[in-house]
Every structure is written in structure tokens, then in C-alpha cells.
Amino acid sequence: MKTFSSRSDVPRIVDVARAARVSITTASRVLNGVTTYPVAAATRERVLAAARSLNYSPSALARALVTKRSRIVGVLVGDIVDPYFAEIVRGVEAVARQAEYLVIVCNTERDPALERRAVAALRDYSADAILFAGGDFGDEEAGRLLQAELEPVLARGGIALALAGDRPGLPAIDIDHTAAAAELTRYLIGLGHQRIAFIGGPPQVSTARARLAGFLAAMAEAGLPANWILDGGYSFSGGLAAGTSLAGTVEAIVAANDQMALGALAALRTAGLRVPADVSLASFGGTSAAAQAVPALTTLVIPREQIGAVAMQAVLGALAPQPVVIASQLLPYTIVVRESTAPRLPEDAR
Amino acid sequence: MKTFSSRSDVPRIVDVARAARVSITTASRVLNGVTTYPVAAATRERVLAAARSLNYSPSALARALVTKRSRIVGVLVGDIVDPYFAEIVRGVEAVARQAEYLVIVCNTERDPALERRAVAALRDYSADAILFAGGDFGDEEAGRLLQAELEPVLARGGIALALAGDRPGLPAIDIDHTAAAAELTRYLIGLGHQRIAFIGGPPQVSTARARLAGFLAAMAEAGLPANWILDGGYSFSGGLAAGTSLAGTVEAIVAANDQMALGALAALRTAGLRVPADVSLASFGGTSAAAQAVPALTTLVIPREQIGAVAMQAVLGALAPQPVVIASQLLPYTIVVRESTAPRLPEDAR
DNA sequence: ATGAAAGCGCTAACAT
DNA sequence: ATGTTAGCGCTTTCAT
């Protein structure tokens, strides 16, 4: 077994330097492709050859320690199982990969304490940016505690961003949830439905409140009563329960996310109702699960992958030598009509 | 704004030491709770107080550099959207959290090149352990290249483990996929079914091959012909396609994962067949999606969370001062019977 | 019981 | 064009 510099079993830059018979500095310069510094072509070649033959790869830890940049970005997600978040992460990763950033996904289980721990861990590892996917939850006290953990990251020049959901004080990359929910509701109204229910998310979550507001606005605007507002907790089971209690009383349902819509769908079917013949069902999100349901769900598609990508781009800009200040931005959404919604049929045609 | 040690905007151990009027060494000892070293109670209190009032938290990077342990463990998953992997990750995280380890989830999209990049990134950040969730894919060449990236991690005393799937040369925490598939098949046979189809995963994936082998063994043992073997690629759409082509020709289907079962279910329903009245459907995995389907799916539940937890425990043991060598272990699985399977009805009763 | 000093692996002034 | 040196923030011998 080869041995390297004193204490390590893996090649270090000093090994490369030695093998190439240059100083560590020169090796570092070549390896980092520093263009502002002149290095003789022959020297450069020797260093590169040495690095390759030793299979050298620099320690990101040591580098981070001196450069003050870890090239780590953390993404906090409320529920790792929910494809909603997975696609945001995907967008972040795609951009991060190109920029040689390491993405750390932290699952908070929508628990403020866990979220705090995650932020603390990212802070300890000197993450350059923290992206909060999926908006605020927890009370004010939790918000303050979180802020305290986050503060050192910002103090070091780190970035914090809100993705697809509000975070007080942070720039947001998002869609207009209220407008979007209103538009989805209007679509159902345009189909002729009048008795429309809304299955919402947890009221502590900002997106849940925004979507509800949009629904209410659209109903009011059409002069329709909003008599069926339920809390489905953003979960399948919550949607199931809501759907069960709604069965037979409404003509259409807007669910504030796909998971709840799936739950409602299961409930309706169990109750012997046909979708969309008896009840139209539309949801918010646009995850693959919505497309895979039977019938496939009409949903408002949030450009989650794009949100992730745009956010990561913004992070890179803000971390660049000439920092670009990050401004909140609203991205466009689209309604995809599938099989779960249909025009209202006259009573006798059903 | 307060200022701290020369170059940082965040308190460092030297700031704590200064505030407590002790040396850095003493501060470090107190902060790390080194029990082998005697520190006067009064001193300890001063250090602790200083750390608290400064809101000090040590740099994991600097610590890792000197201790040669990053307290980072990477988990490689084939598909971040698949709840199958998410639950493994959950198990890992639960244990890692207690031990103050940072878990980095890397999404490989089942692409060997991405997988290699992920291992390289983890190596560069000096991950102490790399857990491969979900088994091997890619050809031999890819395996060799991966091995090359992984080697330095092992050389540093790092751990690599295979979770719920084979990886040549690595200890595995798993169930016996072959035995499990056989048992699930036997259950269907016991229900009286004879024309049983198998929707399998990609043959490059070790678990897919193992599950198929189990199916074939059970069929052979019962003297039944295994005439309907399809590749569903472990995806919903693959299951959908397979289900479509199977509709009307078999009495029962075993799907090698839940996603494909969901696809098959959609296909059967579209074809006008009832599950389980016309076709019994059982799957492998036991993700929440299986429970949430209508009808709820009978599945073989792989203890994924437990696999993750056991693996992380093993990692901790292997990394402890008195290292415990990691041996492969097989965990117990269970078959959960739900609504998607039923006894065969005589022809005229259908 | 406490501290001084070396050094982890790397980059970045600052020489030459 | 290349090398010397001084850290980054921490732990850890080794002194005292």
C-alpha cells in the first residue's frame, strides 16, 4: 500500500506538489485553474499528471475553512415523501451540480423543533445558503427561535430564501398562490358548478392561507356561497376524511394540494360517487401523483422544478464576486385540465 | 454590531476563551465535555456562560479537519420521489440525529454517472460513511468506476453499506428478497390462483432479479407455468403498460414494487376489470401509496425505516473508538393483506 | 488545573 | 514564473 504525507491514507496537495517537484502554492494554482496567475505550461502539465496519477481530489473541508465558502446549500423540506418537495429539490440540484455545490436536503417533518435543528446543523457546517421549501409553519415563538439559528448564517454572508411559500423577512421565489387558487376556482365556476367545497391545508402554513383566500375571493366574486371549507391538513388521510364528509353534498371540490385530492378521490369513490360525472375535483400542485390517479386529476401546476432552479441561480448570483441582490420573484403557473373535472349536468341528466 | 476575532462575523472559540479569560485549550475542553480532563467547576461555568452569551457554536468544518471525522453520512437514493427510499432515509436520519451526524441525501436518478458524482462529492467532503439505498444498477464498467471513487473513502476508514439491495463487496442490511417474493407468490397461489403474472423491475437491478427468482421458485414449486413475466421498470408508467397488456388474461398479478402495482391497478380499472373480483393484485414494498390506493393494496412490507436505522447504528458502531465490524444482516418482512387480493372464484360465480 | 504550540489541508498575500 | 509564509478554527500532545 502506498503511503502519503505523514498522517493520511489519501493523497494531499503536498503529495501532488512533491510528485511534480513544485511548491504547494504552484500545485494549488494549477489545480484551481487560477487564470490570473501565470504558470509555465510544462509545470502545469507535470502537476496535472501528478494529480491524475495519484488520483488526487482536494479536501472540500480544508478549502472551505480558508475560503469561507463551503459550497454547501441546504434545502429544508416539510415532508421528504411528498413529491411536491422532491421536485423543488431536483431543480435546486440541477443548478447546484453545475456550480459544484453540494446540496443537503433536510427533512423537517413540519416540526419547528426539527427545522431548527436542521438550520443549526447547516450553520455548523457553514452552509452558504439555506432554502426553505414550502413555507412557514409553527407559531411566532418558533419563528423567533428559528431566526436566532439562522442569524449567524446571514452574518457570515450566507443566503436564505423562501421557496414556494412565505417566510417573514426572506426573499421568496414563488407563484402567486392566491391568484392561482382564484383562477382554479373560477375554472370550476365556469364549468357551471355552484356548490363548491374547498379542502384546505393547515392554517398555520402560509400557502394554505393564501390558497384559501384565493378560493374565497373567486367564490365571492361570483356571488356564490362558500359553505364547505374543510381542513385536510395537506395529507392524504385529511383529504380522505374531508372527502367522506363532503360526499353527496357538493358538485365540485378544490383541494389545496394533490395529496388531499387523492384522499378525497378515494373517499368519493368509496361513497359510490363518480368523478367527474357526479363530482368535479381539482387540485393544487401538479405532482406526478395527480397525473397518475384514475381519473387523472385536473390540477394547477406549480413550476416547482423551475422554482428550485431559479432559486439556486439566485443563490449563485448572490454568492458571486460581484454579488447580485436577490429580489423576490413570482413565477407563472398553469392549469392542466385532465379527467377529473367536467361541466355541470342538469339534474335529470345525471 | 459586535465584532469578534479578527476576520469573522460570528463568534469563534477564541472569543469564548477571551470572554471567559481562559486559554483556547480550556475552552475547547469544556465545550467538548472532555471528561478525562479535570477542569475547575468555576472555570467550566465561566466558559459555558461565555459560550451561551455569545451564542457560540463550533465550526464543524474546522473540527472535522483536525479530528478526521466529518460526522457526515451520505445516503444515495435511486429516486428521491419514491417513498420507498424516503423511508429508508427517515430511519437513517432518526439515528443520525441522536448521534449528531449530518445526513446528506443524494439523488442519483438511477444514473451511474450521477451516482459517481455523488460519491465523489461525498468523498471530497470527507463523509464518514456512504449508504447505498436500493441496490446496484449499471454495468460492470460503471461498477468499477464507482469503486474507484469510493476507494478513498474506505482508505480513510470510512464505511460503505448496501441498504435494501446488493452492492458487490459491501455488507448489506436487507431482507431476503427472493424468499419474500416467493412467499408473496405462495400467498396468491394459496388463494387458488393459477394464471399469475409477474411485473418485474429493471433486470440490471439486483433486487429486481432476486424478486423475480422468488416468484419463479414459488410457481415452479406449485407446478404452475410462469408464462406472464413483464418488465415494468420499477415505474408507474411501466406498471401501467404491463397491466394494460395483461388485462383479461390472468387471474392474479405480483408487482415487484408498489409503484408498478399502482400503474397496473390503473390499467386494470381502465380496462373495466375489478380488483380483486376479476384480478388479484399484490405488490412488493409497502409504501404508504399502497395503503392509500383504492382498493388498498396487499403488499409485502419491507421494513425500510428499520433498515435505515439498523444501518446507521452499524455505522456508528464501526466508527466508534472500539470499532465493531459490520456484518450483513437480513431483517424480517411481513405480508400485509388488504383489499386487492381475494380467493379465486369459480368461473360461473364471476 | 491550565496553557503553549503544533498542525489538520488548503488558499492567498507577499516576496523573489 | 515560482516559492515562502501566514493563517482559517479547531483539537491535541506536551509542558508547567
pLDDT (average), residues B44-59: 95
Nearest-angstrom CA–CA distance, B200 and B287: 17
- Check CB contact of A116 with chain B, cutoff 8 Å: no
Task: State the residue for C-alpha cell 441561480.
Answer: A313
Q: Which of A125, A265, A269 sits opposite B61 (nearest CB)?
A: A125
| Contact across the interface for A294 and B269, Cβ inside 8 Å | yes
The nearest CA of chain B is from the CA of A50 a distance in Å of 17
The nearest CA of chain A is from the CA of B115 a distance in Å of 12
pLDDT digits (tens, 9 = 90+) for A78-106: 888 788 898 999 999 999 999 999 999 99
- Check CB contact of A70 with chain B, cutoff 8 Å: yes
Nearest CA in chain A to B155: A9
| Contact across the interface for B10 and A156, Cβ inside 8 Å | yes
Using C1' positions and the CA of A27, the closest nucleotide is D2
Mutate: best of B3, B67, B105, B151, partner A, most A CBs <10 A: B105
pLDDT digits (tens, 9 = 90+) for B200-235: 999 988 899 999 999 999 999 999 999 999 999 999
Of all residues in chain A, the percent with pLDDT exceeding 90 is: 83
Residue B5 scores a pLDDT above 70? no
Task: State the residue for C-alpha cell 421565489.
Answer: A173
Quick one: pLDDT band at residue A3, thresholds 50, 70, 90? low
Cell of A302: 406549480
Mutate: best of B75, B79, B104, B147, partner A, most A CBs <10 A: B104
- Check CB contact of A83 with chain B, cutoff 8 Å: yes
Task: State the residue for C-alpha cell 413483464.
Answer: B230
pLDDT (average), residues B74-98: 92
Q: What is the pLDDT of residue B79?
A: 84
| Contact across the interface for B90 and A80, Cβ inside 8 Å | yes
Q: What is the pLDDT of residue B7?
A: 52
Q: What is the pLDDT of residue A349?
A: 54
Nearest-angstrom CA–CA distance, B315 and B325: 9
Q: What is the pLDDT of residue B120?
A: 97
| CA nearest to A96, candidates A245, A249, A346, A319 | A319
| Contact across the interface for B60 and A126, Cβ inside 8 Å | yes
- Check CB contact of A108 with chain B, cutoff 8 Å: no
Residue B2 scores a pLDDT above 80? no
| CA nearest to A238, candidates A110, A76, A87 | A110
B25 touches strand D (CB under 7 A): yes
- Check CB contact of B121 with chain A, cutoff 8 Å: yes
Q: What is the pLDDT of residue B349?
A: 54
Which strand D nucleotides have any atom less than 7 A from protein CB atoms?
Answer: 1-5, 7-13
Bigger pLDDT: A135 vs A250: A250
pLDDT (average), residues A273-296: 93
Q: Which of residues 182-221 of B touch A (CB under 8 A)?
A: none
pLDDT digits (tens, 9 = 90+) for A314-333: 999 999 989 999 999 999 99
A63 touches strand C (CB under 7 A): yes
pLDDT digits (tens, 9 = 90+) for A170-182: 999 999 999 999 9
- Check CB contact of A123 with chain B, cutoff 8 Å: yes
How do strand A334-336 and strand A329-330 relate by DSSP bridges?
A: unpaired
Amino acid type, B204? Q
pLDDT digits (tens, 9 = 90+) for A290-312: 998 889 999 999 999 999 999 99
Q: What is the pLDDT of residue B230?
A: 98
Amino acid type, A90? R
DSSP characters for A287-302? -HHHHHSSSPPEEEEP
Backbone angles phi, psi at A265, to 5 degrees: -60, -45
Residue A37 scores a pLDDT above 70? no
CA distances from B328 to A84, B163, B289, B307 (A): 35, 10, 29, 11
pLDDT (average), residues B279-297: 93
Dihedral of the CA atoms B291, B294, B295, B297 (nearest 10)? -30
pLDDT (average), residues B278-283: 98
User: A2, exposed or middle or buried, with CB in 10 Å at 0-12, 13-18, 19+?
Assistant: exposed
B40 touches strand C (CB under 7 A): yes
DSSP characters for B42-63? HHHHHHHHHHHHHT----HHHH
For all residues of chain A together, what is the average pLDDT?
A: 93
Q: What is the pLDDT of residue A81?
A: 78
B58 touches strand D (CB under 7 A): yes
CA distances from B76 to A109, B100, B111, B169, B273 (A): 20, 19, 11, 17, 38
Using C1' positions and the CA of B17, the closest nucleotide is C3
Protein CA B95 to sugar C1' D15 (Å): 41
Bigger pLDDT: B3 vs B271: B271
Bigger pLDDT: B80 vs A160: A160
Using C1' positions and the CA of B24, the closest nucleotide is C3
- Check CB contact of B148 with chain A, cutoff 8 Å: yes
Cell of B214: 422468488
Bigger pLDDT: B109 vs A194: A194
Q: What is the pLDDT of residue B37?
A: 67
Q: Which of B9, B65, B126 sits opposite A156 (nearest CB)?
A: B9
- Check CB contact of A86 with chain B, cutoff 8 Å: yes
| Contact across the interface for B107 and A117, Cβ inside 8 Å | no
| CA nearest to A152, candidates B2, B347, B284, B237 | B2
User: Taking chain A, what is the end-to-end CA distance rounded to the nearest angstrom?
Assistant: 80
- Check CB contact of A99 with chain B, cutoff 8 Å: no
Quick one: pLDDT band at residue B35, thresholds 50, 70, 90? low
Nearest-angstrom CA–CA distance, B20 and B129: 37
DSSP B163: E
B8 touches strand D (CB under 7 A): yes
A265 contacts on B by Cβ (under 8 Å): 294
Using C1' positions and the CA of B42, the closest nucleotide is C1
Q: Which residues pair with B252 in a beta bridge?
A: B196, B280
The nearest CA of chain A is from the CA of B253 a distance in Å of 19
| CA nearest to B293, candidates A230, A269, A197, A82 | A269
Q: What is the pLDDT of residue A5?
A: 60
Which strand C nucleotides have any atom less than 7 A from protein CB atoms?
Answer: 1-5, 7-13
User: Taking chain B, what is the end-to-end CA distance rounded to the nearest angstrom?
Assistant: 80
